[in-house]
Structure 1
Amino acid sequence: MAGVLLCITHSVSAASQQPNIVFLFSDDAGYADFGFQGSKTMQTPNLDQLANEGVRFTQGYVTDSTCGPSRAGIMTGRYQQKFGYEEINVPGYMSKNSAIDGAEMGIPLSEVTMGDYMKSLGYRTAFFGKWHLGGTDELHPTKRGFDEFYGFRGGDRSYWAYEVNDPERKSAMFYDKKLEQGMGQFAEHKGYLTDVLAEKANEFIEKAPDKPFFIFLSFNAVHTPMEATPEDLAQFPQLSGKRKEVAAMTLALDRASGAVMHKLKALGLEENTIVVFSNDNGGPTDKNASSNYPLAGTKSNFLEGGIRVPYLIKWPAKLSPGTTYDKAVSTLDLLPTFFHAGGGKKTLSALDGVDLIPYLTGKNNNDPHASMYWKKETRAAIRQGDWKLLRYPDRPAELYNLANDIGEQHDLAAEQPERVRKMFKDFFAWEMTLERPLWLLKRQYEVYDLDRMDKYRVPSKLEN
């Protein structure tokens, strides 16, 4: 699988039936911070309409609780630990400047990406926004299956253009924050970046709407820095501080998502376009005042608040509107879903995700995943059915039944020793299939161990 050029043949008539695919992807959003997730505070009319017109997953998961590893799983359809992408977020400037010997930190060139798969089916492919999957030119989006790129290589940046005399420009980390059109063509934008990314996506759609396209629209909203337009802030007079800022940033995210969906409708493309919305990990409640209620935990730990995310899919030509799907699914499933929907016939046995369409149309009534896994060094989790086991490096494991304890408040490990033993055994068997981590970042860089912070053990309900 690794490094193999995918050779797919398809007729012109078959290509004309290929659905367009738009993946709307937010960053660090809270599980509860959307109207379709129950929020009464956030204003997300466009994404709420997407939920009403498509399928909402009540148990959607990512493969890691931090940005980079989660994205690596999505981009390859494989557990990122299988190719050594296990550690925390990758700063591209470090790889570029050889701060860590021999490290080109990002998705290895041996891996086939979502862009590669869709391009092999004849799709025009584009990536807009936050990349965060490798900072060197060899790991650039335009070298990983995407025809066009407009965005930045690192994990965060300002939503406003950097002025010439901005002191941040003098930092080595500014390498990760530069906006690029293509590779190496740096040009600051005009306006608020969330809106600009949607404009770039719409320009790509307009270039050749008669040809199938795949867009990965990777917003940096609502990741820090906390920056919003005055107009958006004014829509939330009842809020203050970071909570007001994240509400305004979410409003902009929704507006930008709506702009792309409105473009599809205006061009008559809506019926046969797959639109997906999801998020990279749980909200970091202390940093951007996001809410993961009723889940315990946050970004960077394996409690539900760190790994369960909002998740929507709409495909009017195939899927019934206004439905919910209650079995556990993963963002690993997006790649095989897109590939098979686009006409791919190849069996993707090397992938860990599944094609979701048969499950959503009722052709397959089984659980999409018998087991789901999370791992970062010695911290780990496994889910089987409604049962979830958490492994820690410094204290006994915990066991929860998510069917009646979504907030993970009642540890049943002492009452279920045989189940704990079996789940440990199953996890060890999976763990033996993994590669060693390709890099281990030094501890002066941002590392979390929020599992141990008691305040994250209890769901915190903000103005919702």
Structure 2
Amino acid sequence: MKSMVQFLTSACLLMASGIAVQAVPQPNIIVIMADDLGYKDLGVYGCQDIPTPHLDKLANDGVRFTSGYVTWPMCGPSRAGFLTGKHQSKFGYYENVSAPFDPKQGLPKIETIASLLQKQGYVTGGVGKWHMGTTDDQHPNAMGFDDWFGFLGGGLMYFPLDHPSYKGRFTPIKRPLNMKYLQHTMPVIHNREPVEWNQYLTRELTDAGIRFLEKSSHEPFFLFMSYNAPHLDLEAPEETIAKFPPETMTKIPGVRPADRSIYAAMVWEMDQGIGQLLMKLDELSLTENTVVWFLSDNGGMRKTSDNRPLRGTKGAPHEGGIRVPMFVRWPGKTPAGKALDDPITSLDITATSVAMAGGDPKSAGLHGKDIRSYLTQQSEEPPHATLYWHTARSMDSQGVIREGDFKLIIGKHGLELYNLRDDLGETTNLAKNHPEKVQAMKARWMEWDKDKAPPLWKGDRNIQFADYDWLQGSPHYKATPK
């Protein structure tokens, strides 16, 4: 209804001016984000041991990016970049939220893709992992989401706490709380109220996404499907794990076949859930007017994922940390089965989605580009000449710049220059061979980085929560798991 009122108002003004008006329906927009998915862990990217038929079909029905990047190689800052459409270093978000009840940690008061689409008349929903803070001001409902079902931390156990597999795993708390306990036992909530759940988490989140589609099908909607899978812990239904015997798993250096087996089950469950979401779009006759994006929030984990031929994993400034599976289906607009090699980023997803809805990414101050003409191949001009990253202060690198085929990592212990066209695996450091190029690229990165914001907080992954006054009185402090 909000969207219709906006359209009719604009139409009347244009008609009064003598300008012809042709109704162009706003597309529904879905962004599906996986958590720690490896670059080569989907069939469409070359995976041999994990069948992902629904994601493969989605990619083949649209355009797939072979150089799709996120803004940071770890969960929280990467998600902050996508959700705001801005480089997170420009507003001080450098670390994962390590203390989920510390009011200093998380998103500041800022526009998000959800609030920007609300302004265009969209009903907005989110499902799954938030990881952007837990105060009232940081809650998804306060950040533009009309409807939220999921959890506020950075991880959650995949079964309810009374599941038989958890027997003896948790004991009553008689010592300071740690991050893993708090984040992985937080409640699942619908908006601001805890809810009961009684099945595998990935299935629970899929069901919530389907409910949102059913109740929002009569007006333009935005849905952020933020799956927890395949993030650790390694957990999946036994009957699903049985589909992937360890001896059938692809041999990946550093990955145990038994771990890969459970990981495969987690990815398969997510793919099945996405298939159900896409089938629901078909049932509701929404497919032809719904744009569906897919990406991972960062590269895959070292002990489970296959990022080959890329170097590095989650947490690294190399390609395996920041280059992710990414594709979009825009029915009637994007050429089917097209692989695009030019670099794009998650910031472009935000900017382009706002533009698709009728908004103006530039006036909203977004850092990504509206790449609609590139998606439809009306223009084959690469969207970006240069890409920049400011990586975590606690990591070995300070920043990354990519110009054309060349990529420079500006590290605390040296400089690394790679030609990604000839050396996608980043095996040969060319910094000593091209000193002038190194200095020129470093100077451009420093110019871009000079307006960074001071950190909103300093990360501490070994934090002891009982040291904080704000924790006292929290219902989570004295909580005793079943």
What is the TM-score of this pair, normalised by structure 1? 0.88
Aligned twin of 1:11: 8
1:279 aligns with 2:262: no
Does residue 366 (structure 1) correspond to residue 374 (structure 2)? The answer is no
Residues 176-215 of structure 1: pairs in structure 2 closer than 5 A: 176=183, 177-215=185-223
Distance 1:169 1:270 in 2: 48
Q: Would you say the 8 A contact 2:388–2:445 is kept in 1?
A: yes
1:433 offset after TM fit, Å? Answer: 1.6
- The answer for the alignment partner of 1:405 in structure 2 is 423
Measure, in 1, the Cα distance between the counterparts of 2:7 and 2:452: 35
8 Å contact from structure 2 (residues 67, 342) kept in 1:
yes
Of 451, 456, 460, 1:433 maps to 451
1:33 aligned partner: 41
Structure 1 residues 380, 346: CA separation in 2 closer, same or farther (over 3 Å shift)? Answer: closer
After TM superposition, give the deviation of residue 367 of structure 1 in Å.
2.1
Aligned counterparts, 1:103-252, within 5 A: 103=104, 105-109=105-109, 111-163=110-162, 167=170, 170=173, 171=177, 173=179, 175-176=182-183, 177-237=185-245, 238-239=248-249, 240-252=257-269
Aligned residues: 427
Can you list the C-alpha shifts for 1:177-207, whole angstroms capped at 9, x where unaligned? 4234334411231111101111111111111
TM-score, normalised on structure 2? 0.84
Q: Which amino acid aligns with 1:71?
A: R
- Provide the C-alpha distance between the structure 2 equivalents of 1:18 and 1:209, rounded to a whole number of angstroms: 13
1:245-260 paired onto structure 2 within 5 Å: 245-260=262-277
CA contact (8 A) 2:33 2:226 kept: yes
The 1:416–1:139 alpha-carbon spacing in structure 2 relative to 1, beyond 3 Å, is same
Contact 1:92 1:136 in 2 (8 A): no
Report the identity percentage. 40
1:220 is displaced (CA, Å) by 0.4
**Uncovered stretches (5+) of structure 2, i.e. residues with no partner:** 12-21, 250-256, 465-482
Residue from 330, 334, 345 that aligns with 2:345: 330
Give secondary structure in 1 for the equivalent of 2:306: coil
Structure 1 letter corresponding to 2:353:
F
Indicate conservation of the 8 Å contact 2:101/2:135, yes or no.
no
Quote the residue 1:388 is aligned against.
407
Structure-to-structure mapping, 1:284-363, within 5 angstroms = 284-286=301-303, 289-345=304-360, 347-348=362-363, 350-363=365-378
Q: Contact 1:33–1:292 (CA<8 Å) still a contact in 2? A: yes
Asked if the contact 1:243/1:290 (under 8 Å) is kept, the reply is: yes
Contact 1:92–1:132 (CA<8 Å) still a contact in 2?
Answer: no
How many angstroms does 1:15 deviate by?
8.2
Native 8 Å contact 1:226 1:245 kept in 2: yes
Aligned-residue offset at 1:361: 1.9
TM-superposed CA distance for 1:255, in Å, is: 0.4
1:345 Cα shift?
Answer: 4.3
Q: Which structure has the bigger radius of gyration?
A: 2
Give the superposed CA RMSD: 2.1
